[in-house]
Amino acid sequence: MPKITFPTTGASHEVEAGSDLLDFLQSNDSPISLGCTSGACGTCTAVVECEEGAVQALTTDEIELLEHTTDEANARLCCQLKVHGDISISPLQ
């Protein structure tokens, strides 16, 4: 089972492969802020470290929004991700 780790809190959780990260974040005490939950506001932008394939590739819409919200490497919209492998998530500073 994939593991979601939050380095800022030290918390780590296992989830089913293919789980929506948004569902997990809404159901747990997450350090990631959530806004619209549809990928339009950028509130849930965070640094996601993982191996290739652990989450889906960036979409054109996600790239466009991230270009307006951050220049941080490995930034992703947490509300849009499905978890297929181990990931580490850190809120933007």
Look at residue 93 in the predicted model and tell me its pLDDT: 75
> Can you tell me the distance from the alpha carbon of 76 to that of 74, in angstroms, rounded to the nearest whole number?
6
Say if residue 84 is exposed, middle or buried (CB neighbours under 10 Å; 0-12, 13-18, 19+): middle
Query: Beta strands of the chain (E only): which ranges?
Result: 3-6, 11-14, 19-20, 45-50, 75-77, 82-83, 87-91
Confidence at residue 86, expressed as pLDDT on a 0 to 100 scale:
98
pTM of the model: 0.93
Query: What pLDDT does residue 30 have?
Result: 86
Q: Is the pLDDT of residue 29 over 90?
A: no
**Whole-number mean pLDDT of the chain?**
95
User: From the CB of residue 27, how many other CB atoms can be counted at a distance below 10 Å?
Assistant: 9
User: What percent of the chain is predicted at pLDDT more than 90?
Assistant: 95
Domain ranges of the chain: 3-91
Domain 3-91 superfamily per CATH = Beta-grasp domain (3.10.20.30)
| 2 touches 15 (CB < 8 A) | yes
CB count in 10 Å sphere of residue 56: 13
41-85 pLDDT per residue, tens:
999 999 999 999 999 999 999 999 999 999 999 999 999 999 999
